[in-house]
Amino acid sequence: MSAEPPWEEFLRLHFPGYLLPDAAREALSEAAAIRFLDALGARPGELAVLRAASFVTAHEADLDAFVRVDLPALLRAPRRRASSALVSFEGHAPGRLDVAATLRSRLSGRATRFTVHAPTAGSPRPEDAVVKSVARRIVAIATILDRAGVLARAGWSASVASWARALAVALASPALRAVADAPITAHHERCAIAAVHPAYARAAALHRALREGLDDRSPARIARAVAAGALLPRDDAARFELAVLLRVVEALALRLEPAGFTLHRTLLGPGRRAVVDLARGDDHVRVHYNQACLDPGAYDAGLRHYLGQTGRLRPDVTVIVEAPPRPARAVAIEAKLSADPSYLAQGLQEAFLYRAELAAHLSGWPKAILVASSPLPGEPRREDDVIAVGWDRWAPASVIDGLVEGLVAAREDALR
């Protein structure tokens, strides 16, 4: 088994620490969670994907036992007791007498009418409804995860896919087909807990876990699901972009907090804003992720006029420094998960395009940066407006110093 890439390890340890305020890590409303995921480029319904993945990883052993052991045994077992229905007969009583109903018949003048509990062998029981409901929900979870494209990359993917196949067969069996689809009530759960076969008790426990894990809208549960699973639907390239983002945020905070700046995590605010804002009075260093937050230039105008395209250049990371009365300055960062020289050369071309397109805003040093996941031979040179850095050196002190140039010096001068 190959070791985890260094950037993956960094991301796992730091996500979402630099993105969510402390309070939001413990309690996150559904609306705030959706905004958070949207800011990371989420697709619609991704919160449901995260909750489904969190449920599976938390209950993997019970799910596997239910699908592979308990349910097959239940479907093979003879039914130990039968249901009954109230039936009235004239002159005889083939079943367990219902005294109250028979007495009512006598009082109404029907002296020869008996009402009994007549057996109806093979009828579905309340606990069967719990089993069928849990089976259907596990299949639905597998469908959600499969459509999100996360099963192929997850360690539990083979189990989820095989569960879905096995449950599809079970749900098509005569025993479960005969069970009516109905909302599960407390009565259904009590019957399942009291039933003899272990499949029923496990189904009742999974039903409660499904209700709490997928249906409960409490902020605490949503926060746990987001923190544990928000990286899961991302492809490798997007996760590397987030690692590059968090590393530069960490480096900026380490450099600026001793100079009086405070780190504000702003991603949860309404609208697409900066991921973080390092602020000291009127001075701000704002970091944006995957946003077209700077006014475009000639390239954008050409796309619109000649090709009728309205897409904007969106650097993976944009750092904007505001230190009045000087004009704001920015740097555009492109992240490439690759060791392929031709692909990295393409990434460097994109960085040069940012340098030309956003020139009005890129007045400091460096102006644009390519960050590669693989080591690069060259060191950043101050005379180059566009530079390239490997993950093993990201984010170099010289680059951070260039980004915050003037901010820290102004503070140090004031303290003298």
Tokens 């006598």 correspond to: 106
Residue 61, C-beta contacts closer than 8 angstroms, at least 6 positions apart:
none
Between helix 198-210 and helix 46-58 the angle, nearest 10°, is 140
Question: Confidence class of residue 413 from pLDDT cuts 50, 70 and 90?
Answer: very low
3 state SS of 375:
coil
Closest CA to 333 of 397, 284, 403, 381: 403
State the average pLDDT over residues 108-122.
64
pLDDT of residue 192: 94
Residue 82, C-beta contacts closer than 8 angstroms, at least 6 positions apart:
119, 120, 121, 122, 123
Residue 334, C-beta contacts closer than 8 angstroms, at least 6 positions apart:
315, 316, 347, 350, 351, 354, 368, 369, 370, 371
Tokens 């050196």 correspond to: 393
Tokens 């490798």 correspond to: 236
pLDDT of residue 411: 46
pTM: 0.78
State the average pLDDT over residues 156-164.
84
Whether the pLDDT of residue 416 is over 60: the answer is no
pLDDT of residue 409: 57
Which of these ranges, 75-79, 138-142, 177-181, 276-280, has the smallest mean pLDDT? 75-79
Q: C-alpha distances in angstroms, 413 versus 256, 283, 344, 408, 409?
A: 15, 15, 41, 9, 6
Sign, CA torsion 284/285/287/288: positive
CA–CA distance, 367 with 315 (Å, rounded to integer): 12
Domains of the chain: 41-77+125-229 (no CATH), 83-120 (no CATH), 236-415 (3.40.91)
Number of H-type helices and E-type strands within the chain: 18, 10
CA–CA distance, 20 with 309 (Å, rounded to integer): 35
- Chain centroid to CA 361: 34
pLDDT of residue 123: 57
Which of these ranges, 62-76, 224-238, 245-259, has the smallest mean pLDDT? 224-238
Residues in the chain: 416
**% of the chain beyond a pLDDT of 90:** 56
Whether the pLDDT of residue 84 is over 60: the answer is no
CA–CA distance, 203 with 59 (Å, rounded to integer): 12
pLDDT of residue 415: 44
Average pLDDT, the chain: 87
CA–CA distance, 336 with 287 (Å, rounded to integer): 18
pLDDT of residue 376: 95
CA–CA distance, 368 with 336 (Å, rounded to integer): 14
pLDDT per position as a tens digit, 286-321: 999 998 889 988 999 898 899 998 878 899 999 999
CA–CA distance, 355 with 362 (Å, rounded to integer): 7
Alpha helix segments (H runs only) across 124-173: 126-147, 157-171
Whether the pLDDT of residue 414 is over 60: the answer is no
pLDDT of residue 77: 84
Q: Which helix (H) or strand (E) holds 113?
A: strand 113-120
pLDDT per position as a tens digit, 323-369: 999 999 999 999 999 999 999 999 999 999 999 999 999 999 999 99
pLDDT of residue 219: 93
Residue 233, C-beta contacts closer than 8 angstroms, at least 6 positions apart:
42, 43, 46, 49, 50, 148, 149, 150
Question: Confidence class of residue 390 from pLDDT cuts 50, 70 and 90?
Answer: very high
Closest CA to 240 of 371, 132, 133: 371
Residue 5 region by backbone torsions, left for phi larger than 0, else alpha for psi between -120 and 50, else beta: beta
Query: Phi and psi of 187, rounded to 5°?
Result: -65, -45
Question: Confidence class of residue 41 from pLDDT cuts 50, 70 and 90?
Answer: confident
Whether the pLDDT of residue 100 is over 80: the answer is no
